[in-house]
Structure 1
Amino acid sequence: MPIKTTPEEAKLWSESVDKLLYHKAGQAAFRSFLRKEFSEENIDFWLSCEAYKKIKSPTKLASQAKRMYSQFIKSEAPKEINIDFTTRENITKSIHEPTQSSFDVAQKLIYSLMAKDCYPRFLKSESYLELINKKDNNQQN
C-alpha cells in the first residue's frame, strides 16, 4: 500500500523524530522501514503507550496494561521490546495495579532507541529518499 504524502510533508519529518511520529503517513513510512529492519515492535509499542495514556477508565486501563504487557514486555512476548531488566521488572511488579504512567520509562527508552538509532537510518533509507524526491501526481490535475 503506497504511503500518501507529499514530498513537502515528508521533508518535514527530517526536522525531528516527533514530526515523523505525530504524522500518520510518517508513522506508516517509519513502520514500513522498521519492519524491514525487524524492529517494528518499537513503533507499535510507542503508539500503544500514546493511546494507553489517554485511557480514563480504570477498568480499561487495567485491561490494556495487561494486553500491552503480554504483547511487548513479558519474556518471549510476540513483539518483545528491548528494554533493560530493571524497567521490565518494575512493569511486571506494577501490572496488577497499573497507572497511566506504568509504561512511561519503557516508552522513553524505546523513543530514545528509535530517535538515536532507527530514525537516522530511516532518513538515509531508499524508501524515505523516494518519498521526498517523488513527483507529486496529485498536483498535476
Structure 2
Amino acid sequence: RQLDLQSALCTPLVLTQLEGYCARTHTAENLEFLLKADGVKRLPPQSMELRQALQDVARVYIAAGGDKEVNLSAATKAKTRLLVEQHDPCSFDQAAKEIYKLTLTDIWPRFLLSPEFLAIAHRKELRV
C-alpha cells in the first residue's frame, strides 16, 4: 500500500520532508493551517488558551489579507468566523476539510515525485 497524506501528517520523517517541500513550492500555509487547526481541537474547551488560539489562527489563515491566508470559499470563511466568535473548538473543521482536499489533490501528488520525498522513499519505516 502506498503512503497516504493522513499517515504522512502523523509520521515525523515524512512530515518534515513535506514541510520542506511546501516551503520550497510556496504552499506552506496550507500544511501549517492543517496542523494548527488540528492542534486547536486538542486544547481544553472553554479555556483562554483555546480562545487565544482560535483568534490567532483565524487572524493569520482565515482573515482576508492574513499573513498566511489560505484559499477558502466565501461561505466557509463566513461560517468559520462565526464559529470562532462562539469559541467553538471545531471552528476550523470545514476550512480544514477544504484545505485537506486541496492538499490531497494538488500538493500531495507533486510531493510524491519531489526530491524531498524521493530522498526518504526507500526507508522501510515508510512501508504502510
Fold agreement, TM-score > 0.5: yes
Query: What's 2:38 paired with?
Result: 50
**TM-score normalized with structure 2 length:** 0.88
- TM superposition shift of 1:57: 4.0
Q: Which runs of 5+ in 2 are unaligned?
A: 124-128
- Asked if structure 2 preserves the Cα contact closer than 8 Å seen for 1:62 and 1:97, the reply is no
Post-superposition CA distance 1:69-88 (Å, at most 9, x none): 11100001001011111111
Larger Rg computed on CA atoms: 1
Counterpart mapping for 1:1-141 below 5 A? 14-58=2-46, 59-133=48-122
- TM superposition shift of 1:95: 2.3
Report the identity percentage: 22
**TM-score normalized with structure 1 length:** 0.80
- After superposing the two structures, state which structure 1 stretch, 73-82 or 90-99, moved more: 90-99
- Asked if structure 2 preserves the Cα contact closer than 8 Å seen for 1:83 and 1:110, the reply is yes
Q: How far apart, CA to CA, are the structure 2 residues paired with 1:21 and 1:31? A: 10
Local SS of the residue matching 1:78: coil
- Asked if structure 2 preserves the Cα contact closer than 8 Å seen for 1:29 and 1:128, the reply is yes
- Asked if structure 1 preserves the Cα contact closer than 8 Å seen for 2:5 and 2:104, the reply is yes
